């Protein structure tokens, strides 16, 4: 005896208890997570629109709405810090991608003595962050500055060189896994057609691994954009500071801290990272997952 359509629909219809046990609790957890993550952002935006210049004055969200803090940024070094940070982050990101891609290509396509040991060494070295060596970096740049002032303390170029000194490691290992997913038959076919290693690398391989290049560039940009310790050690003058160093300077003195100005600067500082993330988001999932398919 055939079952009628209304009876089938009634069976498939979820009861409230079944919905909560199967799907409802997931939606509830998702809503709680969004509220938990979004409230600090809303609070900072509210503080940036408050004229009082304190965080305690923003307990009532958007009780005051004023652009005074944003207008006051023009009377400070804020936009100079924005330019410094963008220059350093972009150059470091591009350099990290170029250096990491070249190293990953060599490890993936060539067989030489010490190849496996080199990969392992790069991974182990990256277990120790650069900030642990800030004393050595300070003394090194102090000595180099006596010979080449452009590469000494208070130099943006010197800071970029320091960041690029730690560009290999995890990035190379991540790229290496992605490069291994590209069939070697493409290299062999290109060689038969007369292509050199350089032509294969620049015109074929890099185009195929563009997702991982975007991911590494994004991660490098974000890490450099918000880095504080090394930047504070290397950059001495206020005109050369990055955003992380400059914004901290506004609130480092508790009695003179201007949290409204700090919040306004923090909101604007988040926009470049957000824009880059949205622009590269289509590469992120593929770039992070494909490299783990074949190591």
Question: What would the pLDDT profile of 80-94 be if each residue is shown by its tens digit?
Answer: 999 999 999 999 999
Q: Token pair 């195929």 is at which residue?
A: 208
DSSP character at residue 239: G
| Averaged pLDDT, 118-124 | 82
In a domain, 64, yes or no: yes
Asked if 86 and 174 sit in the same domain, the reply is yes
For range 242-247, the mean pLDDT? 94
Neighbouring CB atoms inside 10 A of 181's CB total 16
Q: Tell which of 26, 52, 69 closes a domain.
A: 69
Q: Is 150 left (phi over 0), alpha (psi -120 to 50) or beta?
A: alpha
Answer whether residue 295 is part of any domain.
no
Angle value at C-alpha 274, between 249 and 272, nearest 5 degrees: 55
CATH number, domain containing residue 218:
1.10.3720.10
Task: Judge if 198 and 107 occupy the same domain.
Answer: yes
Q: Does the pLDDT of residue 54 top 70, yes or no?
A: no
Which residue would you say has higher pLDDT here, 52 or 113? 113
CB contact at 8 A, 216 and 291: no
Q: What pLDDT is recorded for position 171?
A: 80
Residue 270 counted as domain residue: yes
Judge contact between 251 and 264, C-beta under 8 A. no
Check if the beta carbon of residue 224 is closer than 8 Å to that of residue 17.
no
- pTM, two decimals, is 0.84
Please indicate, yes or no, whether residues 122 and 172 belong to a single structural domain of this protein. yes
**Residues 271 and 192 reside in one and the same domain:** yes
Q: Do residues 55 and 115 both lie within one domain?
A: no
Per the listing, tokens 């970029």 go with: 160
Q: 120 and 228: one domain?
A: yes
Domain boundary among 23, 47, 69: 69
- The percentage of residues in the chain with a pLDDT greater than 70, rounded to a whole number, is 88
pLDDT for residue 200 is more than 70: yes
Query: Domain span at residue 46?
Result: 5-69
Neighbours of 89 (CB within 10 A): 25
- CA 134/CA 151 separation, integer angstroms: 16
Residue at which a domain ends, from 51, 69, 87: 69
Residues 61 and 134 in one domain: no
* Sign of the Cα pseudo-torsion (41, 44, 46, 48, in order): negative
Q: What are phi and psi of 65, to 5 degrees?
A: -130, 110
Number of domains the chain is built from: 2
Residue 260 and residue 184 share a domain: yes
Tell whether 192 and 247 lie within a shared domain: yes
Residues 80 and 172 in one domain: yes
Average pLDDT, integer, range 228-243: 93
Question: Following CA atoms 101, 107, 109, 112 in sequence, which dihedral angle do they give, to the nearest 10 degrees?
Answer: 150
CA distance between the termini of the chain: 57
Q: Under a CB-based contact definition with an 8 Å cutoff, are residues 116 and 191 in contact? A: no
Say whether both 79 and 51 belong to one domain. Answer: no
pLDDT bin (cut points 50, 70, 90) of residue 62 is: confident
Q: Tell me which residue of 126, 199, 178 sits closest to 283, measured CA to CA.
A: 178
Distance CA 219, CA 227 (A): 12
């Amino acid at each position: 005896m055939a079952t009628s359509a209304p009876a089938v629909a009634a069976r498939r219809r979820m009861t409230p208890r079944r919905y909560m046990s199967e799907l409802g609790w997931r939606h509830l957890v998702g809503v709680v997570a969004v509220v938990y993550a979004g409230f600090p952002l809303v609070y900072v935006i509210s503080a940036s629109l408050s004229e009082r210049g304190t965080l305690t004055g923003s307990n009532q969200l958007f009780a005051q709405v004023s652009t005074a803090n944003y207008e006051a940024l023009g009377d400070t070094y804020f936009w100079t810090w924005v330019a410094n940070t963008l220059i350093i982050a972009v150059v470091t990101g591009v350099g990290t991608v170029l250096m990491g891609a070249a190293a990953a290509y060599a490890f993936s396509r060539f067989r030489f003595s010490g190849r496996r040991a080199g990969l392992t060494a790069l991974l182990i070295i990256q277990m120790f962050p650069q900030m642990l060596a800030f004393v050595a970096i300070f003394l090194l740049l102090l000595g180099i500055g006596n010979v080449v002032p452009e590469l000494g303390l208070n130099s943006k170029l010197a800071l970029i060189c320091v960041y690029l000194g730690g560009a290999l490691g995890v990035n190379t290992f991540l790229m290496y896994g992605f490069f291994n997913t590209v069939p070697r038959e493409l290299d062999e076919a290109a060689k038969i057609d007369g292509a050199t290693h350089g032509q294969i690398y620049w015109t074929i391989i890099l185009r195929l691994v563009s997702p991982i290049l975007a991911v590494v560039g994004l991660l490098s940009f974000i890490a450099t954009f918000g880095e504080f310790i090394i930047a504070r050690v290397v950059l001495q003058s206020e005109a050369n500071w990055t955003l992380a160093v400059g914004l901290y300077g506004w609130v480092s003195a508790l009695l003179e801290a201007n949290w409204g100005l700090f919040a306004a600067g923090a909101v604007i500082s988040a926009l470049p990272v957000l824009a880059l993330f949205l622009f590269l988001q289509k590469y992120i999932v593929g770039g992070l997952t494909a490299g783990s398919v074949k190591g």
